[in-house]
Amino acid sequence: MSAAERYVSSLRDGRQVWLDGRRVRDVTEQVLLRKSVDWVVSGYERYDAAPNPAFVVPASPVELRSQLEQLLSGDRSLTSTAACVTALATHDDSAFAERARALVDEAKADDLRMTPASVDTAKPVRVVARRPDGIVVSGGKYHVLGAAVVHRLLVVPNGPVDEPEQAVAFTVPVNAPGVRIVVSTTAPRAVDDRHYPVSRRQSISEALVMLDDVFIPDEHVVLDGDTAGSGELASTLEEVELAVAVAAQADRSELVLGLAQSIAEMNGTGGVAHIQEKLAAIAVYAKMCRAGWEAALAGARAGKGGAVRPDEAYLFAAKSYGTRSYSEMTYYLHDIAGGAVITAPTIADLDNPDIGEFCRKYMRTMENVSGEDRIRIFHAIRDLTADTFGGWDKVTNQAIGGNMQRQRMGALHHSDLGAAKDRARREAGISSNSS
Amino acid sequence: MAMMTGDQYRKSLVDGRRSYIDGELVEDASAHPLLRGAVDMVAGTYDRFYSEDPDAFHPMYLIPRSREDLEFRMEAMGRSDMTAGTTSSCMALVEVAPELARLKPEYRERVYEFIDYCRANDIRCSEAITDAKGDRVKRPSRQFDPDVYVHVVDRQRDGIVISGAKLHISAAPLCHEQVVLPTKAMKPGEEEYAVACSVPSNAEGLHIVNTTNAPRTEDQRHFPLSSRRNCPEGLLIFDNVFVPSERVFLDGETSHAALLAHALGLWERSSGIAHVGDAADRLVGLANLLAEANGGSERKDIRDLLAEMAIFATMCRAGWEAAVKNAKTNADGTVSPASLYVSATKYYNHELHQRMVDILHDLAGPLLVTCPTVGDYENDEVGADLGEHLAGASGWTALDRMKLLHYLRDTTADTYGGWTQVAGPLSGGGQFAQRLVALRNYDLAGATRKARQTVGLDPSPAGDEQHGAFA
């Protein structure tokens, strides 16, 4: 049995999952969740005989760059697993560090997929009972990416907490008694989903996870009662998530540019002055997003646990810039492309003998442009920026690193303000130390 | 003839038209899961405005003769469905009727006869304007395929035959008549492309290939708006379609092609911006509700964002009010909104709209796109607990909070939201066109005269000296 086959089989473990108000007994058989499963399968197939980047804690900028490149070209469970691995492997709580490393070793040995669960619902996760061999927890977590299709959750406080009972972190199998997973998904609902070229392959389900009196054995607990250090794991997870988001933003901005340039050429408007202006604006955006990520990598240095992390000032600055301007770029993209973004015929229309050739004929613009190719570019633009998947992608990315104000503040707080002030004083001819 | 009821409207669509969606022929739109919702919405308008009075008609067919008429008409449009907006194609014809009469008196007569026919039979029309266009930088007559602009391929004793395609035709499968207008100015030598006419939706040779923003889920309760107000978009394919002379409003007169295109643009844009103040107010209200539900309505940073949105909403409303205040009247006495203010308002609204949406997404957070469904909430095994997990601040219940998030996701971050994001700026001409129209209608000479006087190149009128130069 291949690793991918073992993975699919492992999901039939009695996990309690609901989608659209209905219980899902087997996520591998549910048509929408199967798309998430298949995406994760692609990662298992890819790393069946090769080192899996999800289990690497980068020790140099070169390793960090390589890891991010591999993660971004794979399925989302690899990224979520990498975040959990980094958080556990660098966990410096002396009482739990060894246990956390053991959990990483176990996940790696069993080739498990993990995902973080940090954002509390209105019922924060807390210890509700203690037993000789573990703790019992209850509460809920929002936005748990891929919960229904991974093996373990890393549950952590969302930040520093005051109550010792909420200062609790642990890993838990998703099929543990008392774990219930309510899923949402961007997987396309069309019976024939060929006009969703991205989301039919790359949709990962999200979940609200409810924990009801879930027993966590001691060996899975990595924080218990230490309010002073309660925000540390979430902070590490957020750093990794932010780094991935900024790296992905650079890729995404280049994709937007590629789509815009492609459709402009296909429309015959690549040389029109106002279209060129918009393409240029997107090109500037793409270069600045790439530059932000490169600068963050160039400033990377070893942090806690020896893990190399990108420069945070550049990370926040790049994220803030990329988020603030993203809607403007998609607005330009849609303006360049035109209304066929939302009105292009489907692939099924092309298959229909009565109308297929008409659709090809009228979506064609010139001798060397095929109507079908142009239709496929329109589908990609719609799927990525103006439909269910595009909406989810935009909203979830916008929230990484906090809201837009917090992203700006992150850049401010991580900037070297002392050096900036010194420079200003020198220019102004101030030699005294008065502030 | 009398007005139609909703049921009569539904039956009227089963007329043998060749309408497709997802590659399948749809014989009865009212029975198709992806089109039924849109049909029901239009049927709802029919029922809402229905009158047994044989002389009654929907206000969309009121030809405004005063500002009051214009405002009355637009208010009624706000209580109607999208076909009331697309039937604006009739208003475009009416607006240019005096000019058409100078070409041929029968054009004007045909326009008014057509309007009378539509009004008397209570039917809906599309705005079939955007051609396939081929290579955008080449003239229609220089394309590799002559059909990429709709054109006359044959003239017969009693009518013309047309071929070509029209794209992005909102509500096309919901309409009875497809009103074909030139997409832009035509030049001498392009007479075959200077054609305006109306074609019944079931005409032989006409195919309608549709897309839709209707939700595709079985349970649509977490799509609170698009489950009720979705809109199909049609690609109209004219394959040698015969059009009788009485439905031909322009045939070969290139001098008047642009006039029709511009007139439609004005009415299409006007339908969009007449209610843009209300729509912007709704965004401000949604932001305030999100702040309440998430517990931040008194935070200074959030008050600042609300202020930004309030200014946006106020300017949107001001733009439409200025368009009505400065309305124009044509030779037949038809009153139209002022084109300058219509285009300026449309441009302003769409330049900033997505910024307002970004603020809403910031306030909502990712729960916007990960919120459980109503179906989840009603599930016996998880529903009660979801009620506790999803409860909001300030007494917001889980169900109310979910309704708020579902509405916002549906309208800004899902299929329908994507459609509005793309279609909004492009309808009635893209943003670049709005800039051109605004500048064309703006009193540039007057502004320049003021500037010359201000800098002292020309004398100022008596009593109007430099004061207020920057006011």
For residue B239, give the nearest of B185, B190, B181, B199 by alpha carbon. Answer: B199
CA distance A99 to chain B (A): 31
Closest in B217, B372, B390 to A122, CB measured: B390
Query: In chain B, whose CA is at the least distance from the CA of A206?
Result: B370
Inter-chain CB proximity A140 and B366 less than 8 Å:
no
Closest in B25, B367, B376 to A21, CB measured: B376
The per-residue pLDDT for B394 is: 84
Closest in A327, A349, A399 to B355, CB measured: A327
3-state helix, strand and coil shares in percent for chain A, rounded to the nearest 5:
55, 15, 35
Inter-chain CB proximity A355 and B207 less than 8 Å:
yes
Closest in B168, B382, B413 to A182, CB measured: B382
Residue B162 bridge partners (DSSP): B152, B241
Closest in A206, A210, A352 to B20, CB measured: A352
CA distance A168 to chain B (A): 19
The three-class DSSP label of residue B147 is helix
B138 φ/ψ angles, rounded to the nearest 5 degrees: -105, 145
Q: Which residues of B touch A146 (CB under 8 A)?
A: none
Inter-chain CB proximity A340 and B423 less than 8 Å:
no
| pLDDT grade for A433, boundaries at 50, 70 and 90 | low
For residue A134, the 8-state DSSP code is: E
Q: Which residues of B touch A328 (CB under 8 A)?
A: 354
Q: Which residues of B touch A184 (CB under 8 A)?
A: 369-373
The three-class DSSP label of residue B153 is strand
A58-77: average pLDDT: 95
A359 half-sphere exposure, CB direction, 13 A CA radius: 30
Rounded CA-CA distance A180/A147 in Å is: 10
Q: Counting beta carbons within 10 angstroms of the beta carbon of residue A160, is it exposed (0 to 12), middle (13 to 18) or buried (19 or more)? A: middle
Inter-chain CB proximity A388 and B377 less than 8 Å:
no
Per-residue pLDDT for A5 more than 50?
yes
3-state helix, strand and coil shares in percent for chain B, rounded to the nearest 5:
55, 15, 35
Q: Which residues of A touch B230 (CB under 8 A)?
A: none
Inter-chain CB proximity A398 and B362 less than 8 Å:
yes
Per-residue pLDDT for A98 more than 80?
yes
CA distance A409 to chain B (A): 13
A286: amino acid identity, one letter: A
Inter-chain CB proximity A342 and B412 less than 8 Å:
no
At A191-221, the pLDDT tens digits run: 999 999 999 999 999 999 999 999 999 999 9
Q: What ipTM was predicted for this assembly?
A: 0.95
Q: Which residues of A touch B147 (CB under 8 A)?
A: 361-362
CA distance A209 to chain B (A): 10
Inter-chain CB proximity B136 and A140 less than 8 Å:
no
Q: In which region does residue B69 sit, left (phi positive, over 0), alpha (psi from -120 to 50) or beta (all else)? A: alpha
The three-class DSSP label of residue A154 is strand
Rounded CA-CA distance B296/B364 in Å is: 11
Inter-chain CB proximity A354 and B432 less than 8 Å:
no
Strands A168-173 and A221-224, how do they pair? antiparallel
Element housing A17 (H / E): strand A16-19
- Is residue B201 a contact partner of residue B18, using CB atoms and an 8 Å limit? no
More confident residue, B389 or A305: B389
CA distance B116 to chain A (A): 32
The token pair that represents A166 in the structure block: 């909420």
The per-residue pLDDT for A435 is: 56
The per-residue pLDDT for B468 is: 52
Q: Which residues of A touch B354 (CB under 8 A)?
A: 327-328, 330-331
CA distance A72 to chain B (A): 21
The per-residue pLDDT for B465 is: 57
**pLDDT averaged over every residue in chain A:** 96
Inter-chain CB proximity A330 and B421 less than 8 Å:
yes
- Inter-chain contacts counted by CB atoms under 8 A, chains A and B: 239
The per-residue pLDDT for B463 is: 66
Q: Which residues of B touch A140 (CB under 8 A)?
A: 385, 389
Query: In chain A, whose CA is at the least distance from the CA of B416?
Result: A387
Tokens 């939706």 appear where?
Answer: B201
Inter-chain CB proximity A122 and B147 less than 8 Å:
no
Rounded CA-CA distance A271/B137 in Å is: 9
Rounded CA-CA distance B177/B168 in Å is: 16
The three-class DSSP label of residue A260 is helix
The per-residue pLDDT for B471 is: 46
At A257-286, the pLDDT tens digits run: 999 999 999 999 999 999 999 999 999 999
Inter-chain CB proximity A210 and B382 less than 8 Å:
yes
Closest in B168, B354, B432 to A331, CB measured: B354
Look up the pTM and report it: 0.95
B278 φ/ψ angles, rounded to the nearest 5 degrees: -65, -45
Inter-chain CB proximity B23 and A192 less than 8 Å:
yes
CA distance A422 to chain B (A): 30
Contacts of B258 (CB under 8 A, 6+ apart): B182, B184, B185, B186
Q: Which residues of B touch A351 (CB under 8 A)?
A: 23
CA distance A69 to chain B (A): 25
The CA-atom distances, in angstroms, between B433 and each of A101, B348, B430, B440, B451 are 61, 13, 5, 10, 26
Query: In chain A, whose CA is at the least distance from the CA of B398?
Result: A122
Query: In chain B, whose CA is at the least distance from the CA of A333?
Result: B422
Contacts of B15 (CB under 8 A, 6+ apart): B200, B201, B202
Q: Which residues of A touch B432 (CB under 8 A)?
A: 274, 335
Q: Which residues of A touch B386 (CB under 8 A)?
A: 182, 208, 210
The three-class DSSP label of residue B18 is strand
Closest in B364, B367, B432 to A142, CB measured: B367
Rounded CA-CA distance B106/B401 in Å is: 59
Q: Crossing angle for the helix pair B339-364 and A312-337, nearest 10 degrees? A: 140
For residue B381, give the nearest of A334, A322, A17 by alpha carbon. Answer: A17
Q: List the A134-141 sheet strands across, edge first.
A: A22-24, A16-19, A179-184, A206-217, A134-141, A126-131
Rounded CA-CA distance A337/A326 in Å is: 16
A121-146: average pLDDT: 97
Q: Crossing angle for the helix pair A356-363 and A371-385, nearest 10 degrees? A: 80
For residue B183, the 8-state DSSP code is: S
Inter-chain CB proximity A367 and B144 less than 8 Å:
yes
- Is residue B437 a contact partner of residue B265, using CB atoms and an 8 Å limit? yes
For residue B353, give the nearest of B415, B429, B394, B411 by alpha carbon. Answer: B411
Rounded CA-CA distance A6/A250 in Å is: 34
Rounded CA-CA distance B33/A88 in Å is: 49
The per-residue pLDDT for B1 is: 64
Q: Which of A182, A269, A404, A405 has the highest number of chain B CBs within 10 A, making it the mutation to test binding with B?
A: A182
Query: In chain A, whose CA is at the least distance from the CA of B352?
Result: A328
Q: Which residues of B touch A352 (CB under 8 A)?
A: 20, 23-24
Q: What is the pLDDT along chain B (471 residues), one digit of tens a residue?
A: 689 999 999 999 999 999 999 999 999 999 999 999 999 999 999 999 999 999 999 999 988 899 999 889 888 988 999 999 898 788 889 989 999 999 999 999 999 999 999 999 999 999 999 999 999 999 999 999 999 999 999 999 999 999 999 999 999 999 999 999 999 999 999 999 999 999 999 999 999 999 999 999 999 999 999 999 999 999 999 999 999 999 999 999 999 999 998 888 888 888 888 899 999 999 999 999 999 999 988 899 999 999 999 999 999 999 999 999 999 998 889 899 999 999 999 999 999 999 999 999 999 999 999 999 999 999 999 999 999 999 999 899 999 999 999 999 999 999 999 999 999 999 888 899 999 999 999 999 999 999 999 999 999 887 665 555 554
CB atoms within 10 A of CB A388: 26
CA distance B444 to chain A (A): 22
Closest in A140, A342, A346 to B22, CB measured: A346
CA distance B407 to chain A (A): 13
Rounded CA-CA distance A163/A177 in Å is: 25
B229: amino acid identity, one letter: R
| pLDDT grade for A383, boundaries at 50, 70 and 90 | very high
Percent of chain A with pLDDT over 90: 95
Closest in B211, B374, B388 to A122, CB measured: B388
Closest in B375, B390, B426 to A338, CB measured: B426
Query: In chain A, whose CA is at the least distance from the CA of B377?
Result: A21
Closest in A268, A334, A395 to B421, CB measured: A334
B437 φ/ψ angles, rounded to the nearest 5 degrees: -65, -40
Query: In chain B, whose CA is at the least distance from the CA of A385?
Result: B418
